Copies of this chain bind each other. A is one copy, B any other.
Amino acid sequence: MIIQLSNNITPQQKENLLNQLSELNIKSNEVKTQFRNYIVGIPKVDFDIRTIGNMEGIDDIHRVSDDYKLVSKKWKTERTIIDLGDNVTIGGHELAIMAGPCSIESEEQIENTVQHLLKNNIKIMRGGVYKPRSSPYAFRGLGMDGLKLFYQHCSENGIKVITEVMQVSQVEEMLDYVDIFQVGARNSQNFNLLDILGEVDKPVMIKRGMSGTIEELLASAEYVFSNGNEKILLCERGIRTYEKAYRNTLDLNAIPILKEKSHLPVIVDPSHGIGLRQHVATMALAGVVAGADGIVVEVHEEPEKAFSDGQQTLYYEQAEELYNKARSLNVVFEYIV
């Protein structure tokens, strides 16, 4: 249920409304656009919508019959731009590039990567400190100790941090050390995590599930948005199919379709997508032409020594070549198109 507030709603009217929602056991979140203010109400049980519709200070009210509404173009036609501060934005004309290792491994590795990024004018560093691993016996990441070092080195150098959050209880402790929360493919439908990320004031990048549909990805984003956080990035990272010539089937079809249906920026992850170092750059560039607003790639000083995902991680020189091509292509392509 989305309630459109009158522009001249009084504080008392608003309080009455929120009280009424609370009495009806309806969870409510404020959602704003540049023009109007709304309350999104998520009812736990059925109720008579007229008990709210007749209240004062309300212009309009309607049920949400689709799985998602706020993240769709029906809700907002202009494209969303995520502002990370310090002139770093995602979703505008400039191509956003996020790069870094699969896992944060050591302070030395962080510092080394930061230098690589500075040299190439990359403003966002990726790196996992909580690693979802199929087996309990695999390396699971350095945790908060790693994250603090990661954030410290980045923030000192004007670089933004994106890292994966795996569960609700981590959100609060990570909050001060993260610029973008990443929700991994395995958590793409972890609805409790999505709910809580809707309550923080940090952007959230949601990866498409291993076999997630495009509709499900948008509905997951709706969880975040309907809880009040509209800073959302959608990420295509490959789906699981029968084909075994590569790691995952990077589904570039998803990019134009997501951009048709939603106003949110779309990021492509070719490292997890095709999963083969020698083809990562090619698929990243194809993703740019397919309409991606940004790319996220794995890079490491010595990929063969990486704790995880080495075979899909770029060498520094490969990565630099990719950054240059991607930026050129992004500029040129606007003229062609």
Contact = CB atoms under 8 A, between A and B. Distances in A.
Contact of A64 (B137, B168, B220, B250): B137
Interface residues of A, number: 83
A214 B283 contact: no
A219 B186 CA distance: 14
Contacts of A44: 139-140, 142-143
Nearest to A67: B135
A159 interface: no
Given A169-B169, A190-B186, A325-B336, A279 B250 contact: no
A61 to B, nearest CB: 14
A111 to B, nearest CB: 19
Nearest to A332: B332
Interface in A190-223: 190-193, 195, 209-211, 213-216, 219-220, 222-223
* Residue of A189, A226, A329 with most partner-chain B CB within 10 A: A189
Interface stretch (A73-81, A116-124, A150-158, A236-244): A236-244
A219 B169 contact: no
Contact of A273 (B140, B211, B253, B255): B253
A262 interface: no
8 contacts: A67-B135, A134-B220, A136-B222, A167-B190, A168-B169, A215-B245, A249-B253, A285-B290
